[in-house]
Structure 1
Amino acid sequence: MPIRPLPDTLINQIAAGEVVERPASVVKELVENALDAGARRVDIDLEEGGIRLIRIRDDGCGIPAEELPLAVSRHATSKIASLEDLEAVATLGFRGEALPSIASVSRFLIASRRREDEHGAALQVDGGRVGEVVPRAHAPGTTVEVRDLFYNVPARRKFLRAERTELGHIEEWLRSLALARPDVELRVSHNGRPARRYRPGEADAAARLGQTLGEDFARNALRIDHAGAGLRLHGWIAQPHYSRASADQQYLYVNGRAVRDRNVAHAVRLAYQDVLYHGRQPAYVLFLELEPQRVDVNVHPAKHEVRFRDARLVHDFVFRTLQEALADTRAGATPVAAAAPAPAPQAAPMPAWNPRPQPLGLRVDEAVGAYAALYGTSAQAQEAVPAPPAAAAPTPAPLPAEEGGIPPLGYAIAQLHGIYILAENAEGLVVVDMHAAHERIGYERLKAAHDSMGLRAQPLLVPLSLAVGERDADVAEAEAATLAELGFEVTRSGPQTLVVRSVPALLAHADPEALLRDVLADLREHGATRRVAAARDELLATMACHGAVRANRRLTIPEMNALLRDMEATERSGQCNHGRPTWTRFTLGEIDRWFLRGR
């Protein structure tokens, strides 16, 4: 078969295979065009899940009549004109493929009017065949109608799902958009009936959070806003006890664009690693902002993915920001939740987030001896770790006292079945799992002790020869200094051979070969690793578990109060080492409802 140019309609249909996956893809492209046009209100009318009809109406700047044919031609756009524009693109759309691709697989109509024009104009495209521009009455803005999607490509149409499924994909994308653009009003109707409305509000991002993800998420959200190294990360992360079975509440935006990024997702998982129950997924809405030149948005036809110029810096910035925020989720703390509104992406930056509130002091009447009596059980575990210098691991500051001088976890009143501590605080009843709480306290103290000394290397009596792939050998050679900081002395002795002369001292009795392979894989894929720290933490967690107070041990009131005060002062004390909660509270109002008081 000879080489020949493809017809324009076929070219557009091929492009549609990349851009138009289902009705939700059409809605995404058209609504993003509306936002790029400055729309403040977008109406989305759907029929049969968008398969029969998608109509998008906006109040944006509009399109001149003479430019309508260009709007449905390939690679025609008003958003970029040079390579410099592409490298600093700030609009949601820019490729110039969406409209012609959509028009090639549907019965398509576009009508528009600029505010300064006396009347509007319309253009119809039927399966890629472009009609004539005709005058049409139209309010300022643009309307795009997409009817009978894939009517001329039956092989694609048969892959569409049921009406309810396709509508669900559209609703999920609109939920993602609503989180990113609280300043825009979105109205959705389906089969002629109003389905959903997101009301606008420049400073109402917090309300959007509850409206889109539910009030439960909003109540358990920690507010994040941190800047450094030319990066800014803001938004919300859910407290560890609010976790999900799936990744259905994970939203990431880079410069206002909703994306999926494995590098950032990995950093988030690492930040939650020490506080999340096994198999559970964190929930978050995060906005990452950086200079457009530092991120490439032109790596995916549907613009779902981006590529960072310095992926390692981004990974480390996200990890450390979230790790510090989660470290401050101490027992008794009240989350800085969605009551504090987050700015829209175009809003002015907020002051840098300060992860540690200033202590106001606590009234603690317990004797010092209570601490010694309580923690005497962990002496065996503590002996395994050399004590750090006195100033190396200071005791964290306690949480501020609540109204009336009562600490957040209150004061102990009883012990239940030798397992739970019952305490009274200003709100009502606090119940603490004493083993889980003591386990976390001991674990954090062991980590602080080791962090103060750093990771020591232990030389191997006989150097270990390790066969690896050539890529891993390249990484080991390039990252020799990083490996040395982790306790590994590694040299390359051949194209696919490494010689290991020392390993982390604390992990010398583990499997150093498997650990090093995992470290190299992390460095190759993410540019950073926490494998050594995770292996160390796993060992320290086991030590802390063995040293924690056991069930059925009777504690005195001073001992119970000592444990409560230490919980308030210890990072991550809301969860045990395995991610289970260490405490819960019941307000007086809840308890009143148990007994129908006031009815």
Structure 2
Amino acid sequence: MTRIQLLSPRLANQIAAGEVVERPASVIKELLENSLDAGAMRIDIEVEQGGVKLLRVRDDGSGIVQDDLPLALSRHATSKIRDLDDLERVATLGFRGEALASVSSVSRLTMTSCTAGADQAWQVETEGRDMQPRLQPAAHPRGTTVEVRDLFFNTPARRKFLRTEKTEFSHLEEVVKRLALSRFDVAFSLRHNGRTVFSLRPAHGEQEARRRVASVCGPAFVEQSLSIDSERSGLRLWGWVGLPTFSRSQADLQYFFVNGRMIKDKLVVHAVRQAYRDVLFNGRHPTFVLFLEVDPAVVDVNVHPTKHEVRFRDGRMVHDFLFSTLHRALAAQRPGDQPGAEGGTEAPAQLAPQMTGASAGVFSGQERMSLNEPAASWSAQPAFQPQRPSAGEVTGALQGFSTLYGNSPMGAGELTESTQQQDVPPLGYAVAQLHGVYILAENAQGLVVVDMHAAHERITYERLKLAMDQEGLRGQPLLVPESLAVSQREADCAEEHADWFSRLGFELQRMGPETLGIREIPALLRQADAVQLVRDVLSDLLEYGTSDRIEAHRNELLSTMACHGSVRANRRLTLTEMNALLRDMEQTERSGQCNHGRPTWTQMGMVELDKLFLRGR
């Protein structure tokens, strides 16, 4: 072997650049984070050829003094931390002191800066191979401009791995969007090849913040999202989560920030997926723009060179907080709530003292529906009796359907007048059933179409879950206890959570350092693979500090029971039965989706209906 020797500064910087600078988007991220850390309130970005030819970032931040300009291009040179205590409470986006040195080692970099009160600005230049910065006076207002030209000009192998100009710019644009979402108070503009891509003004209020989110994520997201703002145990979560019906085929509209830093963390992904599990269609991905604020001392951001990952001191507490907040917000959404409106929905923190839906026992006054009982028997005495014209009067109003419905003294004009005079519930009142599948109802906005099986399935499912939560999971002893070989860490975890397993209907016994005995399993899950279920649960407990697999298996069974126990297609319902179903939907958690994530109802407003028939043109 050859002798050990120190690497040259140029080679060391180029190795570091391989960790920090992957493509133009990586460079723009580091430069923008420096601008934000410098207190900039306006940042202008100019790009040519996807960022390979030119990246120029100009800000109005605090600037860099003359003597510090050459030092800023040195490795591990930073003004953001001084000692270990600072590293344990990082409050800035950048702090490693590697970014500018790494970028300058693989490009031609020019940085011009001026501080407040300085007589003039100064400029420093460097090229990848030279690494000797050249300092000279320059003209520049307060702030800093960084120009990065000819990226990877001296590392052609790296340049060959870059994609097309369009692809590289799309990655770069995504980085700018993320940072624009992280700081609503800062103005951002982006130009590519001389064309303005977007120009975002500072957003200081709720409505302006919504406009920025709409500019970045699209107006449809804002219109189909719920506002979140919840605080507990030193954690605050706020932002917007998309309705389950506004899901995506891929996870491309998911933004999560911790103390203003965009991250991608498996703990966060798991918590969000859990919250949406009961309402999201299979294979779809939720959408969200969420901000978590925590004490910097309880989160470690120094985990990865690109700082995309973090580590929480108490991951289980964070996971439970995220899940419970989102789960509660999605469950509280009812027909008639207006997502995307000014102020959004009521914050979960305000909802917490007042439990809603099944948790509050809103079904306690209703007749319980037997899974084998016909629909007429449970809906003949609805808990929420509609105060509206009788069924004969409603059907009589539909004079055009005289062959299907009997005539009545109340005419269509009188019915319309009656509708306007009375308070109409969100899903309105049933007027007809279509092909034994859909309920047609009239509300204040226009036409409501309900998939009666899907809607009843959700109502039955939520009632079954409520009953199960009240009664708990009973255990069933195994005739022959099963032996399970595990690691010592897994066995310790099982002992630590023995009470938790017991409440869920499991009885686990430690047979040896690396052996568990399964003596009892939940009676409801007696058909499940007990060994694999326990393995999966232990795996979750070790990785996330919590597990929902038992509840998931239970809910899958309850969902199947609810599906078989709900009204079927081609079942003819009376208007009284249909209205009872509509009232139950308005009071049931997650009633906008069936157990499989399909929508249960849709609204067509009068404007949409008028367009169909070219009215008003």
TM-score (structure 2 length as normaliser): 0.88
Alpha-carbon RMSD across the aligned residues, in angstroms, is 2.3
Counterpart of 1:152? 154
CA contact (8 A) 2:437 2:569 kept: yes
Residue by residue over 1:399-435, the C-alpha shift from the partner in whole angstroms, topping out at 9 and shown as x without a partner, is: xx99941100000000001100000000000000000
Q: 1:597–1:402: structure 2 CA closer, same or farther, 3 Å change rule?
A: closer
CA contact (8 A) 2:251 2:285 kept: yes
Q: Is the contact between residue 47 and residue 54 of structure 1 (CA under 8 Å) also seen in structure 2?
A: yes
Q: Is the 8 A contact 2:507 2:520 kept in 1?
A: yes
2:228·2:348 contact (CA, 8 Å) conserved in 1? no
| CA shift for structure 1 position 338 | 5.7
Equivalent residue for 1:560, pick from 543, 553, 578: 578
CA distance 1:217–1:35, shift in 2 (3 Å): same
Shift of 1:209: 1.1
> Is 1:255 equivalent to 2:259 in the alignment?
yes
- Judge conservation of contact 1:254–1:287 (CA < 8 Å) in 2: yes
1:477 aligns with 2:495: yes
**What is the distance in 2 between the residues matched to 1:319 and 1:289?**
15
Give the SS at the match of 1:129.
coil
d(CA) in 2 for partners of 1:358, 1:240: 21
Specify the SS of the correspondent of 1:596: coil
What residue identity is the alignment partner of 1:354? L
* Alignment correspondent of 1:409: 427
Whether 1:517 and 2:535 are equivalent positions in the alignment is yes
Is the alpha carbon distance of 1:357 and 1:489 closer, same or farther for their aligned partners in structure 2, counting shifts above 3 Å?
A: closer
Q: List per-residue Cα deviations over 1:56-81 (Å, max 9, x = no partner).
A: 10000000001111101111111110
- Looking at structure 1, the residues matched to 328 and 294 of structure 2 have their Cα atoms a distance apart, in angstroms, of 21
- Provide the C-alpha distance between the structure 1 equivalents of 2:180 and 2:139, rounded to a whole number of angstroms: 30
> Which runs of 5 or more residues in structure 1 are unaligned?
343-349, 360-367, 382-394
Residue by residue, what CA displacement relative to the aligned partner does 1:188-215 show, whole Å, maximum 9, x if unpaired?
1111222221121211211111111111
| Residue aligning to 2:127 | 126
Match of 1:202 among 201, 204, 207: 204
SS at match of 1:31: helix
Greater shift in the superposed pair: 178-187 or 304-313: 178-187
2:459 maps to which of 430, 436, 441? 441
Pair 558,117 (structure 1): closer, same or farther in 2 beyond 3 Å: same
| Of 308, 321, 333, the match for 1:304 | 308
Q: The residue matched to 1:455 in structure 2 has which SS?
A: coil
Q: Who is 2:563 aligned against?
A: 545
1-structure distance, mates of 2:545, 2:598: 31
- 1:138 maps to a residue whose letter is H
Quickly say closer, same or farther: Cα 1:481–1:355, change in 2 above 3 A. closer
TM-superposition CA deviations, 1:135-168 (whole Å, max 9, x none): 1111110011110001111111111111100000
Picking from 242, 266, 273, the partner of 1:269 is 273
Q: What's 1:116 paired with?
A: 117
Question: Could you report, residue by residue, the CA deviation over 1:514-552 in whole angstroms, capped at 9, with x for unpaired residues?
Answer: 211111111111110011111111111111111101111
Q: Which residue of 1 aligns with 2:164?
A: 162
Alignment CA distance shift 1:378-1:179 (3 Å):
farther
Task: Judge conservation of contact 1:380–1:547 (CA < 8 Å) in 2.
Answer: no
Moved more, 169-178 or 469-478: 469-478
SS in 2 for 1:133: strand
Deviation of the 1:357 alpha carbon? 8.2
Mapped to 2, the partners of 1:5 and 1:514 lie a distance apart of 51
Closer, same or farther in 2 for the Cα pair 1:356/1:474, shift >3 Å?
Answer: closer
Deviation at 1:464, TM superposition (A): 1.4
Q: Give the structure 2 partner of residue 463 of structure 1.
A: 481
Partner of 2:106: 105
SS in 1 for 2:458: helix
Residue 465 of structure 1 and its aligned partner are, at CA, apart by 1.1
Determine the C-alpha separation between the residues in 2 that align with 1:247 and 1:283. Answer: 8
Question: Is the contact between residue 316 and residue 546 of structure 2 (CA under 8 Å) also seen in structure 1?
Answer: yes
SS at match of 2:323: helix
- How far the C-alpha of 1:491 sits from its partner, in A, is 2.0
Per-residue deviation at 1:454?
A: 2.0
Alpha carbons 2:473, 2:505 under 8 Å: kept: yes
Which of 230, 234, 245 is matched with 2:234 structurally?
230
For 1:356 and 1:577, the matched residues in 2 are separated by 27
Tell me the secondary structure at the aligned position of residue 529 of structure 1.
coil
Q: How far apart are 1:497 and its partner, in Å?
A: 1.4
**Which residue number in structure 2 is paired with residue 11 of structure 1?**
12
CA contact (8 A) 1:331 1:583 kept: no
Q: Does 1:142 align with 2:122?
A: no
**Alignment match, 1:215:** 219
Distance 2:232 2:574 in 1: 47
Instruction: Confirm or deny: 8 A CA contact 1:205 1:341 kept in the other structure.
Output: no
Unmatched segments (≥5 aa) in structure 2: 357-364, 376-382, 387-418
CA deviation string 1:174-230 (max 9, x = no partner): 111111211111111111222221121211211111111111111001000011111
Q: Does 1:70 align with 2:77?
A: no
- 1:354 alignment partner, one of 346, 351, 354: 351
- 1:430 maps to a residue whose letter is V
Select 1:179's aligned residue among 178, 181, 187.
Answer: 181
Are the aligned partners of 1:325 and 1:355 in contact in 2 as well (CA < 8 Å)? Answer: no
Following the alignment from structure 2 to structure 1, what is the Cα–Cα distance between the partners of residues 297 and 235?
12
Distance 1:341 1:553 in 2: 38
Equivalent-residue separation in structure 2 for 1:286 and 1:515 (angstroms) = 32
Mapped partners of 2:581, 2:336: distance in 1: 13
Query: Partners in 2 of 1:97 and 1:26 — Cα distance?
Result: 12
How far does residue 496 in structure 1 lie from its aligned partner after superposition?
A: 2.5
Partner of residue 292 from structure 1, selected from 285, 296, 299: 296
Corresponding letter in the other structure for 1:153: T
Query: Structure 1 residue 133: deviation in Å?
Result: 1.4
Could you say what secondary structure the match of 1:84 adopts? helix
User: Is 1:586 aligned to residue 604 of structure 2?
Assistant: yes
1-structure distance, mates of 2:420, 2:177: 37
In structure 1, what is the Cα distance between the partners aligned to 2:139 and 2:476? 80
- How far apart, in 1, do the equivalents of 2:546 and 2:514 lie? 22
